[in-house]
Amino acid sequence: MMSTTAESVVDKRLEEKVALITGGASGIGESTARLFLKHGAKVLIADVQDELGQSLCKELGTPDIVTYIHCDVTCETDVQNAVDLAVSRGGGVELRAIASDGDSFKKVLDVNVVGGFLGAKHAARVMVPAQKGCILFTASVASLLCIGVPHAYTTSKNAIVGLAKSLSVELGGYGIRVNCISPHAVATPLLLNWFVTSDKRKVEEIILRNGVLKGTILEAEDIAG
């Protein structure tokens, strides 16, 4: 009897919760949708596989507990609509936006990640036949610590670390070394622009107050060396 009671409690641990599951029409997403429904959640399946998603919803339950919405996660409007629908199913939730638009986020990733990948791709094209070479990325301490820099920058620098690790496995067999350096903040023109100032000394003082243990300001030449 106690076992039955415990199971019923566990089965409803997500009751009154609303789950938005991207990629929920198949695979891991589908399994997650099934499990969440079992535990009492209302589920919104968001996917680009419309027929599959709609069919799955019909199988799993009525529209008041499981619904499908077309959502391409690379399209900000689709994601916004999916989240708004999920909120309408739950009710009483205040929406707050992250202070960054999708286009600027993508631009940073294009420059830092896609740009890095393309550079490595074409460098490897020359280095592999020569069976030697070194590809060195500039990552950031932001890939190791939470230091309050923009989300896109932090994301891109974490991606660079992963890219370097992945490429090192592929290219190591050809005698090519792949690595990255992760410096702390440097008062470059880019960082001055981010702080909306031309006063390098002011920015260096901010850097000094936020994690420089030895009291020495990092210069661009230190990283180049």
Which residues are annotated as catalytic? Answer: 140, 153, 157
Residue found under tokens 């205040």: 94
Are the C-beta atoms of residues 111 and 158 closer than 8 Å to each other?
no
In degrees, rounded to 5, the angle at the alpha carbon of residue 102 between the alpha carbons of residues 100 and 103 is 105
- Could you tell me where the beta strands, DSSP code E, fall in 8-97? 18-22, 42-47, 66-70
> In angstroms, rounded to a whole number, what is the distance separating the alpha carbons of residues 111 and 106?
9
**Close Cβ partners of 120 (under 8 Å, ≥ 6 residues apart):** 135, 137, 163, 167, 178
Kindly report the backbone phi and psi dihedral angles of residue 204, in degrees, each rounded to the nearest multiple of 5, phi listed first: -65, -35
Query: Which among 224, 214, 225, 210 is positioned nearest to 141, based on CA atoms?
Result: 210
Structure tokens at 2: 């106690």
